[in-house]
Amino acid sequence: MTDKTANTMWGGRFAAGPDAIMEAINASIGFDQRMAAQDIAGSRAHAAMLGAVGIITPKDADTIREGLLTVLSEIEAGTFEFSAALEDIHMNVEARLKDMIGEPAGRLHTGRSRNDQVATDFKLWVRDQLDAAEAGLLALIDALLAQAEAGADWVMPGFTHLQTAQPVTWGHHMMAYVEMLGRDLSRVRDARARMNESPLGAAALAGTSFPIDREMTAQALGFDRPAANSLDAVSDRDFALEFLGVASICAMHLSRFAEELVIWSSAQFRFVTLSDRFSTGSSIMPQKKNPDAAELIRAKVGRIMGANVGLMMVMKGLPLAYSKDMQEDKEQVFDAADNWMLALAAMEGMVRDMTANRDSLAAAAGAGFSTATDLADWLVRVLGMPFRDAHHVTGSLVAMAEGKGCDLPDLSLADMQSVHGDITQDVFDVLGVQNSVNSRMSYGGTAPAQVRAQVGRWREVLK
């Protein structure tokens, strides 16, 4: 695709075209063509404004705007021929426009530069991805709420250090992720609101002497206002970094949940059965059903966080304003966005389809002396013991049960009384897991009533 003649967009002072290697390192059209729709939206807004304020004639503005729509339809139809000699999406679109409409195309670039143009395109692209992430998060949260509601009172073990700690409810565990993803959702919305200022009209770096109307283009592109400093507008990419930061945190949440699904679907746990639609088999072991989707989601945080670090390294140390380094901002963001959306969708599918195995959950909930804290609390509440003493007595009873190879509820009253004479038959009420979870009625606790209240609150919030 090398064109040995000087570039028609900026070649006035050039006698020769670029070396092939120069073209290869310089061209971004291979990836920035993904911003074609945003580029054309930005150019159409700019042309309308140029016409409205009289910098170009309204007729030229209309011709340009119509022509740009045709260019867009060619790109969407896949008939557009991208040229590396034309470097990037901006010049590819403008060159094609010139082929089609001739002289007025050359007036489009009045009062702007590729620097504000690319900042605008990229911001619009990232903004679209934030909207997609919002939709993906809402769908996933909805799937989790359905699981939480169905299993508000199903008991399962709660873990610390991945050791059985206290019984919790399935619904409570699902709702923990709703809280995390709910904060991700609010980070998405915050980032969107903060980035929503238009770079267009900042021109190369200093603004322009043409009487442009930046309010008008900002409004046409759905921005809240024009960015207030032209140097900043063309040279910062913090909106993309914030996008990657939000994506990284969310991907980390998805990764933790994915890890739990991998563990839970194993033969050793059998807490959940993943659907065939979100599992794969093994080419050698016929019995296998692997949680590949969960594993891949678990891994996605690596490349998304990698993009975050990568772009941070590109941006650090760049003097104001634009430097070509900033062309390296896009590929990593594109890749991170694609994989974030995929991870959200795959997680939603898995959560909607998965079946909790209530029997395995309940059996595991009672194992591992999971109601020992309930026993200690009973000693405090009923016998008035200081908690530290109750902890000690309970520890002795756990050791006794362990010695006998049974669980706490299997000890006899006589066994109990051999450790502390005041213990009565009532203690057995608190050793059952269902009673244990029912009793945890503190705000935010695992009691089914609390879980149902939180499901209701979230449904209200998301309405």
Contact residues toward ligand ARG (CB under 6 A) are 28, 32, 88, 114-115, 118, 322, 324, 326-327
* Residue 139 CB, nearest approach to ligand ARG (Å): 32
CA distance 291 to 279: 5
* Residue 84 CB, nearest approach to ligand ARG (Å): 12
**In the complex with ligand ARG, which residue's Cβ is closer, 90 or 298?**
90
Three-state SS letters, 266-322 = CCCCCCEECCHHHCECCCCCCCCCECHHHHHHHHHHHHHHHHHHHHHHHHCCCCCCC
* Residue 87 CB, nearest approach to ligand ARG (Å): 6
- Residue 265 falls in the annotated catalytic set: no
Pick the catalytic residue from 186, 282, 323, 396. 282
Q: If you write DSSP's letter for every residue of 253-268 in order, what string do you get? A: HHHHHHHHHHHHTSTT
CB 357 within 8 Å of CB 267: no
**In the complex with ligand ARG, which residue's Cβ is closer, 62 or 328?**
328
Strand partners, 280: 290
- Which conformational region is residue 444 in: left (phi greater than 0), alpha (psi within -120 to 50 degrees), or beta? left
Helix (H, G, I), strand (E, B) or coil at 237: coil
Residue 321 preceded by cis peptide, ω within 30: yes
Those residues whose C-beta lies under 8 Å from the C-beta of residue 312, and which sit 6 or more positions away, are: 241
**In the complex with ligand ARG, which residue's Cβ is closer, 114 or 172?**
114
**Residue 208, CA distances (Å) to 111, 117, 213 in order:** 6, 14, 11
* Residue 113 CB, nearest approach to ligand ARG (Å): 7
- Residue 282 falls in the annotated catalytic set: yes
**In the complex with ligand ARG, which residue's Cβ is closer, 65 or 114?**
114
**In the complex with ligand ARG, which residue's Cβ is closer, 331 or 377?**
331
CA distance 379 to 393: 9
Distance of CA 255 to the CA centre of its chain: 11
**In the complex with ligand ARG, which residue's Cβ is closer, 32 or 260?**
32
* Residue 22 CB, nearest approach to ligand ARG (Å): 13
Nearest to 259 by CA among 218, 211, 300: 300
CB 143 within 8 Å of CB 352: yes
* Residue 85 CB, nearest approach to ligand ARG (Å): 13
Residues marked active site are found at 161, 282
